[in-house]
Chains A and B, each alone.
Chain A
């Protein structure tokens, strides 16, 4: 079975450019999470989707960040314009929310390592 797929795996861009990160969750999963990981702050939740609907985007740092999930098999995280402080690893994770909420395993994609110069 294919796991969570993310692209690109690495992205190097210059300050001010638009960056789009992509995620394909595991088929059949109904919850999708975008996280950002840095050495200083660890894993931080950016946004959570349930059944393709954004439920909580309070972790999105600022208006430069936006996320969409147009269907159950695809999500994007966009940064426009990008800044050096956005450099981090961005993970997408999915899970199937079952009868006992939020005891479920989160499956992470391989991440996108973003460097903004």
Chain B
């Protein structure tokens, strides 16, 4: 079993829709959590860090559930420009950032 697991998708949604991704992690010692966005043939870029209380940045909301060991990303009012792969990243408090293999999102006009 991988330490960080994501549904690869693709998630095909119409513009304006709300879409949510989950990511599960297996190591209960994990301390830091992130969502990165990766466009096709580009480098990953930080979308948002995930805090215990949950956090919001515009149309994006991230939640952490330590008891069930998952993090989620909610995107409201999807835009065409949101089409990308979303990488879940977990850190156990060391230099090892563990990346999921990503969830592909395609927003359709």
Binding site for B on A (CB under 8 A): 31, 33, 41-43, 45, 48, 50, 55-56, 91, 101-103, 105-106, 108-111, 113
Contacts and interface: CB of A to CB of B under 8 A. Distances in A.
29 contacts: A33-B97, A41-B101, A42-B99, A42-B102, A43-B99, A45-B97, A48-B95, A50-B95, A55-B95, A56-B96, A91-B43, A91-B44, A101-B94, A102-B32, A102-B94, A102-B97, A103-B31, A103-B32, A103-B49, A105-B46, A105-B49, A106-B44, A106-B97, A108-B43, A108-B45, A110-B43, A111-B42, A111-B43, A113-B41
A42 B109 CA distance: 29
Q: Which of B34, B95, B102 lies at the interface centre, i.e. has the most chain A CB atoms within 10 A of its CB?
A: B95
Q: Tell which of A48, A56, A102, A110 has the most Cβ of chain B within 10 Å.
A: A102
B97 A42 contact: no
B71 to A, nearest CB: 14
B93 interface: yes
